[in-house]
Amino acid sequence: LDYTKKRFLCYFGPKSHSQIEIGHKTLESGKMVICAAVLVLMTLLILYGSNSVNDADYANFHVSTHQALKTTDLKKWAGREGYVPFYGNKTMNLHCHKCALVTSSSHVLGKKAGHDIDHTECVIRMNDAPTLGYEEDVGNRTTLRVVAHASVFRVIRRPNEFLHRADSNPMIIFWGPPNKFGKDSKGTLYRLIQRVSMTYRNLSCFSIAPSKMRKFDSLFLRETGRDRQKSHSWLSTGWFTMVIAIEICDNIEVYGMVSPSHCGKKPGSKKMPYHYYKPRGPDECVTYVQNESGKRGNHHRFITEKQVFARWAKHYNISFTHPTW
């Protein structure tokens, strides 16, 4: 190896420590210092380059938590006109004194809360979380279902469970990127739900208007200091459902949602399925923790979201059952 080759190894050293060692021994001390400085700089650049988004997010997160509460009154933050009917001229005018928000977590299993849930004025569920076969724990009534674009097919392919309901005025709110459900999108998904809406007249189907979708993003930014798009994450159906529930309910009892610190201490020590209807599916804490640290792609800030829910709980009559916190 000649000198230039060693310098090359030095500059690109962080990948292999043994090669740096070779450099150390043979370089003169003056050049060593420069070389070391460059190495440190390079390492910093590489580390900063891959983590800058998250570091900045976390830094902002702590700064902004105190300012957040003053800025948003969720009872009237974005307006009901943000819910657009897929068919006809229905308006989203649901208002309930008391709501049961039933999560899809396996924490609801074995608690026999079905009776309490069914005796709540309004029952809110998410995506394709079934009631059939789980009535004892989750009840059988559904007033409102909040469904992600990714779950549309799973809901539509079981009409007896999700569409043809005996509930009075059942309602589904679909959320998704504006290109899926925007009024002008008229994509496959949009037309499919429109057809469903025409077929099941008692069921009211709404999409979240693009303008309101943007407000959900800016709400997340205000409440957490983290930019949803820049941190390459998606809001979860849980986030949409909680905000919508606060909009329509005076009181909310949440079933099966763990606290933000639940998975923190010993991840992996509390094995519970992520979904109550998928006993062999992914683990809840593993899903939360992996998603929280995910850098790009299709992931959610489940734990950050729950930190916000914990703050909202004090302001909007929200209580958490199974587990209680």
Ligand X SMILES: *[C@@H]1O[C@H](CO)[C@@H](O)[C@H](O)[C@H]1NC(C)=O
User: Under the rule (CB under 6 A), what is the footprint of ligand X?
Assistant: 88-89, 140-141, 164, 166-167, 202, 250-251, 287, 290-291, 294, 299-300, 316-317
Q: How far is the CB of 104 from ligand X (least distance, A)?
A: 10
Structure tokens at 277: 């209807």
Q: Is 208 helix (H, G, I), strand (E, B) or coil?
A: strand
Q: How far is the CB of 250 from ligand X (least distance, A)?
A: 4
Q: How far is the CB of 122 from ligand X (least distance, A)?
A: 13
Q: How far is the CB of 90 from ligand X (least distance, A)?
A: 8
CA angle 43, 49, 52 (to 5 degrees): 120
* Complete DSSP assignment for 158-176: -HHHHTS--SSS-EEEEE-
Nearest CB to ligand X, comparing residues 207 and 291: 291
Q: How far is the CB of 248 from ligand X (least distance, A)?
A: 11
CA nearest to 302, candidates 241, 238, 253, 251? 238
Nearest CB to ligand X, comparing residues 60 and 251: 251
Nearest CB to ligand X, comparing residues 29 and 168: 168
Q: With DSSP H G I counted as helix, E B as strand and the rest as coil, what are the percentages for the chain, rounded to 5?
A: 50, 15, 35
Nearest CB to ligand X, comparing residues 19 and 140: 140
Nearest CB to ligand X, comparing residues 190 and 302: 302
Instruction: Give CA–CA dist 212/279, Å, rounded.
Output: 35
Nearest CB to ligand X, comparing residues 141 and 322: 141
Q: How far is the CB of 16 from ligand X (least distance, A)?
A: 29
Neighbours of 2 (CB within 10 A): 7
Q: How far is the CB of 39 from ligand X (least distance, A)?
A: 32
Instruction: Give CA–CA dist 233/295, Å, rounded.
Output: 8
Helices (H), 177-236: 178-181, 188-199, 210-224
- DSSP annotation of 200 reads -
CA angle 31, 33, 38 (to 5 degrees): 95
Let me know if 75 is exposed, middle or buried by CB neighbors in 10 A (0-12, 13-18, 19+): exposed
For residue 197, the Cα-to-chain-centroid distance in whole angstroms is 26
Q: How far is the CB of 75 from ligand X (least distance, A)?
A: 7
The residue of the chain with the least Cβ separation from ligand X equals: 290
Q: Do 258 and 284 meet the contact criterion of CB atoms below 8 Å apart?
A: yes
For residue 51, the Cα-to-chain-centroid distance in whole angstroms is 21
Nearest CB to ligand X, comparing residues 10 and 127: 127
User: Is the preceding omega at residue 14 within 30 degrees of 0, hence cis?
Assistant: no
CA nearest to 155, candidates 103, 205, 106? 205
Neighbours of 184 (CB within 10 A): 9
Q: How far is the CB of 179 from ligand X (least distance, A)?
A: 20
Nearest CB to ligand X, comparing residues 116 and 250: 250
Nearest CB to ligand X, comparing residues 54 and 140: 140
